[in-house]
Structure 1
Amino acid sequence: MTNPAAPLSILHVIRQFLPNRGGLEDVAANLAREQARLGHRVRVVTLDRLFSEPDRRLPARERLESIDIERIPYVGSSRYPLAPSVFRHLDDADIVHVHAIDFFFDAFALAKPFHRRPMVVTTQGGFFHTPAHARLKALWFAGPTRVSVRAYEAVVACSESDARLFGPITPGGVTVIPNGVDLDKFAGAASPEPRRALLTLGRFSHNKRLDRLLATMQTLGPGWRLRICGVPYDVSAEALTGEIDRLGLTGSVTLHLGLDVPAIRDLIGQSSLFVSASEYEGFGLALIEALSAGLIPVAHPNDAFACFGEHHPSITLTDFADAPGAAAAIRGAYDRLESGAIVPGAEDLSEYRWSSVAARYVATYEAALARTRPVVAATAA
């Protein structure tokens, strides 16, 4: 893609960002980097405390990994943090890109008559990551979310499952742009020889169903190892350690907290299979990273993973609610790897490259701006 004649001033708004690590944070950071590389002015506004460390306040302004970050205070729950000072950070933004369906999404929609900025939102799974408070969530989605979505020039779903969810409440339709993935970060890092070693990657949250992975490990028995790599979220490291000890898995399951990329590559190099029992994913970034590394995925058939399974034949889908069945699926995937029936790294993942994804987002921004220009001109007249 060639740079547009006039570089855009892009403001990304996201509740958690660097130095926190997670799928949503990685997506926003990589998109911001690529847009800056294309010559756009890019800023990120986020909250000034990590939900995993609520007592530590981060710098109000910081530049990390070539990204300008502005952090603001909040009150209330991490589920719906209130941060009204976000409107002081609009500056000269041509476009506001909100990541996820939360306070920022609703607040920018409500204040649209005052700030008048063109807006794009990426759905990132909405707020249905767990079945908790399902009735309240359904009512909120049918009410406030349905109203808020009308204020956005573009609604971007990061998966087909998100498109099915948001399509019925979005008058102008939903654009599907799969999340980008840094395919070089872990490229070819998996163990060159098959090992009975599993790795799961992501934040420790209830929807990831790490408890079911542990039950599956019990069923697999001796000779298998599981490395759980990520950061605490609404499941603590202490709770996981206690459950590992209770199940007698201390010798075969290990936790690895907050590792940097080289350290994660080292763990991948000791592993052959990626496993995830997650019940809900907005996109499923870790699974694509696993494929790029040459790991063989065995995953729960949530909507996002089931969609990947239709396009990538090396993925094995199994219901992790059935520990014996999941264990059998893992053994089967390992046997196919060992026999050469599965070739690691053979999948075509080019559609997830950030250069392609960033270009599609910039095109979405420009279309949004084009739709608002006549309105601005009429208002000025």
Structure 2
Amino acid sequence: MPIPAPLSILHVVRQFLPNRGGLEDFVANLAREQARLGHRVRVLTLDRLFSRPEARLPARERLEGIEIERIPFFGSHRYPVAPSAFRHLGDADLVHVHAIDFFFDAFALAKPLHRRPMVATTHGGFFHTDAHSRLKKLWFEGPTRMSVRGYEAVVACSESDARLFAGIVPGGVAVIQNGVDLEKFAGAASPEPRRALLTIGRFAHNKRLDRLLAVMQALNADGAGWRLRIVGVPSDVTEGALTAEIDRLGLAGAVTLHTGLDAPAVRALIGQSSLFVSASQYEGFGIALIEALSAGLVPVAHPNDAFAWLKKRHPLISLCDFADAYATAGTIRAAYDRLEQGAIVRGTEDLSDYRWASVAARYVATYRAALAGAGQTVAATAA
């Protein structure tokens, strides 16, 4: 049987390296793995980071082995408009658009002109918060419903995403769970139990860092000396606003912020921690939580759809409503007590389904089905 020819793949994503976050890491890992498989891979993204809009990045750059092309945009970070995107199709056999935004709509609208097969990954759509929920629903039922028709396949990275998009995608939605770099933080957690918590993610309203701070107040009400390290990058919550709130609550000695860290620096912080916490109201999948499991951290998380689904697969995860600070503090203390008493055995979770090699292979199979004009069979191919 002949070996299929390598593909020329163009990934399109609004924010990418050197920015760090779940979406950026997903695209970077997928691009690296596809390049390792022999495909030609490029990433098209915007030329300014939403966290530093005053700084313009190079139009072309190679970072971490990935070929990056950047284009200017105007408008807000919620819907950045970049009309020059179509000049960068080059020799792409297939366009893979990540998330539901201007790129998703524009490439669909221009499909009769560029005529490239396209695949989209939902990454949670745009329902990360309840803000503007009525407008979002109208947009989802209108423009988004029309745009999905331009794609040979729409891939959801979680069952909750699949349920959300199933009603507007003709032919159904494939589910390919996110890949996770399981080696990056493998076994990095503190070998001895510590009253030290760590959270990783954007400083965004949907992450509900305010609730995490309230939980820290409840934990330390008896002077137990709990610590929280917040690792991430500013988004719609600024570092200054977080610092001011930490000071206002009298938590300056217990809570520290860490921004712009590379993987070794994050690994070092994990080495000083025993538990992972997340108050996030919405997650497309929950990469940081899987990374925490790989590190040997014990997770306590808010029961959003993604975390509730992961809990079914990984019993080590504890779920608690972070809106109740004192109940959550009790859940964290109980998890720590089990760890201290040796009732929790870390490093035994089976995380093999999240390895990037298998995730990348499933995406390439989806691409080939799209290229063959078999969009209606993609859901079965990727299952």
TM-score, normalised to structure 1, is: 0.96
Task: Give the C-alpha shift of residue 5 in structure 1.
Answer: 2.6
Structure-2 separation of matches of 1:256 and 1:345: 26
Structure-1 separation of matches of 2:90 and 2:17: 22
Matching residue of 1:159: 158
Matching residue of 1:111: 110
Task: Give the C-alpha shift of residue 3 in structure 1.
Answer: 10
User: Secondary structure, in 3 states, of the residue corresponding to 1:371?
Assistant: coil
Structure-2 separation of matches of 1:341 and 1:120: 45
**Closer, same or farther: CA 148–315 of 1 in aligned 2, 3 Å:** same
Contact 1:189–1:268 (8 Å) recurs in 2: yes
In structure 2, give the amino acid aligned to 1:115: H
Structure-1 separation of matches of 2:281 and 2:3: 41
Contact 1:226–1:252 (8 Å) recurs in 2: yes
Contact 1:272–1:296 (8 Å) recurs in 2: yes
- Which deviates further from its counterpart, 221-230 or 74-83? 221-230
Matching residue of 1:219: 218
Structure-2 separation of matches of 1:4 and 1:194: 51
Matching residue of 1:136: 135
- Taking only the aligned residue pairs, the percentage that are identical comes to 79
1:172-183 correspondence to structure 2 within 5 Å? 172-183=171-182
Structure 2 unpaired stretches of 5+: 376-383
Structure-1 separation of matches of 2:4 and 2:306: 37
Task: Give the C-alpha shift of residue 337 in structure 1.
Answer: 1.1
Task: Give the C-alpha shift of residue 172 in structure 1.
Answer: 1.1
> Could you tell me which of 361, 364, 368 is aligned with 1:362?
364
> Could you tell me which of 263, 287, 305 is aligned with 1:285?
287
TM-score, normalised to structure 2, is: 0.96
Task: Give the C-alpha shift of residue 207 in structure 1.
Answer: 0.3
In structure 2, give the amino acid aligned to 1:342: I
Matching residue of 2:378: none
Matching residue of 1:331: 333
* Cα RMSD for the two superposed structures: 1.2
Structure-1 separation of matches of 2:136 and 2:19: 26
**Closer, same or farther: CA 265–3 of 1 in aligned 2, 3 Å:** farther
In structure 1, give the amino acid aligned to 2:63: L
Structure-1 separation of matches of 2:364 and 2:75: 33
1:304-315 correspondence to structure 2 within 5 Å? 304-315=306-317
User: Secondary structure, in 3 states, of the residue corresponding to 2:167?
Assistant: helix
In structure 2, give the amino acid aligned to 1:173: G
Number of matched residues? Answer: 372
Structure-1 separation of matches of 2:171 and 2:12: 22
1:1-381 correspondence to structure 2 within 5 Å? 4-221=3-220, 222=223, 223-371=225-373
Structure-2 separation of matches of 1:341 and 1:142: 48
Task: Give the C-alpha shift of residue 290 in structure 1.
Answer: 0.4
What CA deviation, in whole Å up to 9, does each residue of 1:89-114 have, x standing for no partner?
A: 00111110000000000001100111
Structure-2 separation of matches of 1:146 and 1:215: 40
Structure-2 separation of matches of 1:111 and 1:372: 21
